[in-house]
């Protein structure tokens, strides 16, 4: 049965009388399993047993290829059609008509803010951009060439020691305070990590600037009394934050939920989510794209590179997605944005290699058959680089935008009465019981 649309415009939670009948060919027994929103509950399979001693049937789903781990009202993706919506709003409309902070409010609260709500929200985030002075000492402890994402992950975790009351995760006021703090402070931590890595003094937040402008200020201010951000670049960065804000149950959101399900404080859960994002198959891919374009070097080397990818000697980074089997809608927006940024910064010379790579890949049978299209990371790195962000900072930039999504996912998890501590099962294929042989006889 198709889910019907409720009068409010929300997808109705369809409790149907539909069932699935399963015949166990080992015993000949039949079972009727209820279907709920197009899913069957894995726990309903446990009744399927060959005898009373049997533990019962489980599902086996490494990498969660076909398992819904939650019910969510935050983000909708149709990977085949290339659709991405936050709380029902198409990503391109949000990118065009809203700011990142409006989008963050939408993700957390479920509705776009009115003027007064936006003012209050912006004020609350802006007044939480400063970090404790001791954070600077903590930053100073990192080696001079420490990777900024490693520093970022660690300092997010360290925040939990500054705000012990964040442990009260069932207190809505405490939760909201942490949400303000985390969204407010991540640009500061990110910029401090960068400044440390280049040996420059930290720049304090400037609360007269917008979220993106202030981040540029903390990154790039030198001796000028007041940093004047370029409006086009600040707007582009704000849009990039929107595009990265949430993506339903991706690897890092799943980490946020899984770690958060132990009821640890949200700083620790967010650090785990950021750590998941660090990986080259997730948020680290935008940096890998740049390394790949450098390695290719020139357009004439592309056919040889594609041949190597097809021979299994590497991946075309920034291509492919677990969910999108069509053009990633975010990549489309970023490709357009690149033109506006390059008008200010000058064209990134790697763009020509990227465009040609995309053209060749999209015509190649290997990529067509596997439905491999550019994802959000394919062009974002080119923009970041043109804006003078070092490649090591790319995953950090992704994490700043994604913080609001992680927090929305975390809050939804805590308020969901069906959720418990995340604890998967396993199929044990190791030894049966055996005796320890004494060391001299092994």
- With CB under 6 A as the rule, give the number of residues binding ligand ACO: 17
The three-state DSSP-derived secondary structure of the chain is: CCCCECCCCCECCCEEEEEEEEEECCCCEEEEEEEECCECCHHHHHHCCCCCCCCCCCCCCHHHCCCCCCCCCCEEEECCCCEEEECCEEHHHHHHHCCHHHHHHHHHHCCCCCHHHHHHHHHHHHCCCCCCHHHHHHHHCCCCCCCHHHHHHHHHHHHHHHCHHHHCCCCHHHHHHHHHHHHHHHHHHHHHHHHHHCCCCCCCCCCCCCHHHHHHHHHHCCCCCCCCCCHHHHHHHHHHHHHHCCCCCCHHHHHHHHHHCCCCCHHHHHHHHHHHHHCCCCCCHHHHHHHHHHHHCCHHHHHHHHHHHHCCCCCCCCECCCCCCCCCHHHHHHHHHHHHHHHHHCCCCHHHHHHHHHHHHHHCHHHHHCCCCECCHHHHHHHHHHCCCCHHHHHHHHHHHHHHHHHHHHHHHHHCCCCCCCCCCCCCCCCCCCCCCCHHHC
- What is the contact mask toward ligand ACO in residues 196 to 225, using x (rule: CB under 6 A)? ------------------------------
What minimum distance in Å lies between the beta carbon of 169 and ligand ACO? 27
Which of the ranges 28-36, 318-326, 348-356, 400-408 carries the binding residues for ligand ACO, by CB under 6 A?
318-326
394 belongs to the binding site for ligand ACO (CB under 6 A): no
Among 319, 389, 394, 406, the residue binding ligand ACO under the rule CB under 6 A is 319
409 belongs to the binding site for ligand ACO (CB under 6 A): no
Query: Is 263 annotated as catalytic?
Result: no
Round to whole Å and give the CA distance between 410 and 405: 8
What minimum distance in Å lies between the beta carbon of 201 and ligand ACO? 33
**In whole angstroms, how far apart are CA 218 and each of 54, 101, 138, 430?**
61, 18, 18, 53
Q: Across the strands, what pairs with 29?
A: 24
402 belongs to the binding site for ligand ACO (CB under 6 A): no
What minimum distance in Å lies between the beta carbon of 316 and ligand ACO? 4
Nearer Cβ to ligand ACO (138/379): 379
Which of the ranges 27-35, 51-59, 291-299, 372-380 carries the binding residues for ligand ACO, by CB under 6 A?
372-380
396 belongs to the binding site for ligand ACO (CB under 6 A): no
Nearer Cβ to ligand ACO (136/315): 315
354 belongs to the binding site for ligand ACO (CB under 6 A): no
Among 317, 351, 382, 383, the residue binding ligand ACO under the rule CB under 6 A is 317
Which of the ranges 229-237, 299-307, 312-320, 389-397 carries the binding residues for ligand ACO, by CB under 6 A?
312-320
320 belongs to the binding site for ligand ACO (CB under 6 A): yes
372 belongs to the binding site for ligand ACO (CB under 6 A): yes
Nearer Cβ to ligand ACO (235/321): 321
- Catalytic entry in 238, 247, 321, 328: 321
- Catalytic entry in 246, 265, 328, 377: 377
Round to whole Å and give the CA distance between 439 and 185: 54
307 belongs to the binding site for ligand ACO (CB under 6 A): no
Nearer Cβ to ligand ACO (85/282): 282
Nearer Cβ to ligand ACO (109/315): 315
Contact (CB, 8 A) for 222 and 147: no
Round to whole Å and give the CA distance between 186 and 181: 8
Among 281, 344, 368, 415, the residue binding ligand ACO under the rule CB under 6 A is 281
What minimum distance in Å lies between the beta carbon of 25 and ligand ACO? 30
282 belongs to the binding site for ligand ACO (CB under 6 A): yes
321 belongs to the binding site for ligand ACO (CB under 6 A): yes
Round to whole Å and give the CA distance between 403 and 183: 6
What backbone phi and psi angles, to 5 degrees, belong to 29? Answer: -80, 150
Residue whose tokens read 């003012």 = 119
What minimum distance in Å lies between the beta carbon of 125 and ligand ACO? 24
What minimum distance in Å lies between the beta carbon of 330 and ligand ACO? 8
376 belongs to the binding site for ligand ACO (CB under 6 A): yes
Among 49, 109, 136, 315, the residue binding ligand ACO under the rule CB under 6 A is 315
Query: Is 377 annotated as catalytic?
Result: yes
- Catalytic entry in 44, 92, 282, 364: 282
**Residues annotated catalytic, as ranges:** 282, 321, 377
- Under the rule (CB under 6 A), what is the footprint of ligand ACO? 281-282, 285, 309, 315-322, 370, 372, 375-377
């Amino acid at each position: 049965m198709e889910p019907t649309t409720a009068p409010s415009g929300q997808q109705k939670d369809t409790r149907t009388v539909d069932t699935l009948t399963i015949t166990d060919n080992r015993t000949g027994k039949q079972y009727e399993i209820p279907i709920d929103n197009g899913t069957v509950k894995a726990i309903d399979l446990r009744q399927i047993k060959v005898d009373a001693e049997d533990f019962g049937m489980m599902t086996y789903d490494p990498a969660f290829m076909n398992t819904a781990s939650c019910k969510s009202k935050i983000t909708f993706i149709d990977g085949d059609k290339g659709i991405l919506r936050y709380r029902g709003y198409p990503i391109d409309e949000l990118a065009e008509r809203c700011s990142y902070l409006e989008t963050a409010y939408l993700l957390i609260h479920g509705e776009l803010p009115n003027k007064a709500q936006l003012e209050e929200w912006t004020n609350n985030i802006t007044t939480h951009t400063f970090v404790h002075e001791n954070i600077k000492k903590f930053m100073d402890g990192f080696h001079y060439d420490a990777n900024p994402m490693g520093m970022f992950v660690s300092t997010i975790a360290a925040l939990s020691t500054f705000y012990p009351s964040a442990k009260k995760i069932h207190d809505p006021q405490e939760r909201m305070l942490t949400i303000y703090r985390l969204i407010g402070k991540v640009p500061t931590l990110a910029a401090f990590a960068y400044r440390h890595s280049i040996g420059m003094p930290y720049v304090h937040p400037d609360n007269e600037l917008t979220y993106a402008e202030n981040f540029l200020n903390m990154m790039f201010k030198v001796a000028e009394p007041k940093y004047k951000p370029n409006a086009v670049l600040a707007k582009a960065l704000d849009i990039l934050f929107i595009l990265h804000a949430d993506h339903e149950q991706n690897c890092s959101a799943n980490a946020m939920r899984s770690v958060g399900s132990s009821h640890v404080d949200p700083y620790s859960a967010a650090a785990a989510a950021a750590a998941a994002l660090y990986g080259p198959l997730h948020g680290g891919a935008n940096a890998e794209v740049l390394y790949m374009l450098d390695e290719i070097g020139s357009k004439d080397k592309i056919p040889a590179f594609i041949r190597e990818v097809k021979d299994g000697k590497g991946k075309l980074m920034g291509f492919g997605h677990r969910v999108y089997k069509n053009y990633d809608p975010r990549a489309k927006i970023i490709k357009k944005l690149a033109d506006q940024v390059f008008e200010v910064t000058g064209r990134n010379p790697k763009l020509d290699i990227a465009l040609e790579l995309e053209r060749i890949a999209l015509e190649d049978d290997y990529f067509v058959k596997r439905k491999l299209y550019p994802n959000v990371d394919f062009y974002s790195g080119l923009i970041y680089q043109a804006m003078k962000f070092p490649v090591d900072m790319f995953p950090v930039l992704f994490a700043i935008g994604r913080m609001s999504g992680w927090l929305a996912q975390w809050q939804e998890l805590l308020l969901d009465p069906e959720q418990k501590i995340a604890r998967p099962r396993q199929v044990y294929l190791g030894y049966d019981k055996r005796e320890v042989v004494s060391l001299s006889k092994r």
